[in-house]
Amino acid sequence: MKTNFTQDLLNSDPFDKSLEARELFLRSFKENALHHYQKHEFTRKLWNKLGFHPDQLLTEEDLSSVPGTMVHLFKEHELCSVPREDLVLTLTSSGTGGQKSRQFLDQKSLDNVKKLALAIHQSLGMASSKEYNYLCFTYDPAVANDLGTAFTDELLTNFTGKKEVYYAIQFDPKQNDFVLNEEGVVETLKRFAASGIPTRILGFPALLYEVIEKHQIELKLGDDSWLQTGGGWKGKADKEIPKKEFRKFIFKHLGIPEKNQRDLFGMVEHGIPYVDCEKGNLHIPNFARVYVRSPFDLSLKPKGERGLLHFLCSYNFSYPAPSLLTTDYGRVGECDCGLGTDILILEGRAGVSKHKGCALKALELLEKN
Ligand SMILES: [Zn+2]
């Protein structure tokens, strides 16, 4: 049996909707699921108990029958499908309270995630050989490489040529902690605006918004400048501005065209980047599947309806999360930008209970809503 469907998949067009492309995902997923079934005892026992075996995956429709492993399990236990000594990187979420998320990567899986992220950004017209100055609202990866956001930012800066990279979250010896260097951000933005080289800003929208408001920034960074946001409005949900309004605000204050403002949604446990097209919609690449499930009985919801998000992916052979059931709400929809694939519409988290108890507790609370 051929066993490198995953490499074939990651070498293919991320937004190809053809039957052939979709079958390639199916084969790749089956290859990955069989690996975890063989190498990860818990996954094997869980699937056995639920009457599922990867050999049952014969058609695209069968993919929706893969049981999802609850995201909490990955927060509470260190789950891994390869020997510890094979791991080259552990990613953790930045963690705004509650339990931290972790993901374990061996060399093959790390190469895979880098490859698929590049392919997605290239397909969306976001990769370039041109040089950019970067302002990153993260920690310097030299000091915090295991943080998911720092890892993502370092990865993203490699998708273009780069001149200067400024990391805005720095260690302050006086406070003995990492803090946002606001003055540094303002100075850097002004310097970049005057440099004649286009700018790319990477970071949390809330931090950027606060700095612009507080310092009344009005700059023209130019038509080829970009804003790539991620991480949502974590911890600042009360100040959250709808995406459309935020895009206008950024154009007004920084002169970055709206079509160059792209949000990215990712979960440390899942690793697939869902990235905005020009119209500001998060497209689902063929490297993943997104199902929406009823919080009551986990039954499949039809396209367009709201429910809990269930993600499938096939690139990671070291971390047994090919089928991840989350406590995030969302829907699957469509976009008319021409890319063709379905989009992911996020509708918030399932209440404050998310980080507090076991999976069942969260589901109980959901049922009360
Ligand atoms: Zn689109």
* Length of the chain, in residues: 369
Residue where a domain terminates, one of 230, 265, 300 = 265
Of 257 and 207, the structure prediction assigns the larger pLDDT to: 257
**Which domain CATH number covers 38?**
3.40.50.12780
Longest CA–CA separation in the chain, Å: 63
CA–centroid distance, 278 to ligand 1, in Å, is 6
| CA–centroid distance, residue 223 to ligand 1 (Å) | 20
Same domain, 163 and 248: yes
Protein residues placing their CB within 5 Å of the ion ligand 1:
277, 279, 281, 335, 337, 339
Q: Worst-scoring range by mean pLDDT, 106-110, 220-224, 237-241? A: 237-241
Distance 264 CA to ligand 1 centre (A): 13
pLDDT exceeds 70 at position 278:
yes
* CA–centroid distance, residue 124 to ligand 1 (Å): 9
What percentage of the chain exceeds 70 in pLDDT? 90
Tell me the Ramachandran region of residue 256: left when phi exceeds 0, alpha when psi lies from -120 to 50, beta otherwise.
beta
Distance (angstroms) between ligand 1 centre and the Cα of 277 equals 5
**Among 236, 265, 294, residue at a domain's last position:** 265
Last residue of a domain, one of 265, 290, 323: 265
The answer to whether residue 274 sits within a structural domain is no
What percent of the chain has pLDDT above 90? 72
Give residue 213 CA to ligand 1 midpoint distance, Å: 30
Dist. CA 284 → ligand 1 center (Å): 10
Q: How far apart are CA 45 and CA 175, in angstroms?
A: 48
- 342 CA from centroid of ligand 1 (Å): 8
Residues 364 and 314 in one domain: yes
Distance from the alpha carbon of residue 335 to the mean position of ligand 1, in angstroms = 5
Q: Judge if 151 and 81 occupy the same domain.
A: no
Asked if residue 191 and residue 81 are part of one domain, the reply reads: no
Asked if residue 28 is part of any domain, the answer here is: yes
Distance 157 CA to ligand 1 centre (A): 23
- Whether the per-residue pLDDT at 165 is higher than 70: the answer is yes
333 C-alpha to ligand 1 centroid (Å)? 10
Residue ranges making up the domain that contains 242: 125-265
Residue 248 in any domain: the answer is yes
* One domain, residues 288 and 256: no
Q: Model confidence at 150, in pLDDT bands (50, 70, 90)?
A: confident
Is beta strand 323-333 parallel, antiparallel or unpaired with respect to 343-349?
antiparallel
Any domain includes 100: no
Same domain, 65 and 189: no
What is residue 98's predicted lDDT score, i.e. its pLDDT? 63
CA distance 99 to 72: 9
**pLDDT tens string 80-124:** 999 999 999 988 875 555 677 788 999 999 999 999 999 999 999
Residue with more model confidence, 148 or 329:
329
Count helices and strands (H / E) in the chain.
11, 15
Chain centroid to CA 10? 17
Indicate if 251 and 154 belong to the same structural domain. Answer: yes
Same structural domain, 77 and 149: no
Place of tokens 């080289």: 197
- Same domain, yes or no: 147 and 251: yes
C-beta separation of 129 from 197 below 8 A = no
Could you tell me if 252 and 289 lie in one domain?
no
Question: Ligand 1 centroid to 252 CA: how many Å?
Answer: 23
Between residues 176 and 273, the one the model is more confident about: 273
Whether 150 and 248 share a structural domain: yes
Q: Are residues 295 and 255 in the same domain?
A: no
Counted domains in the chain: 2
pLDDT digit string (tens) for 1-13? 556 999 999 999 9
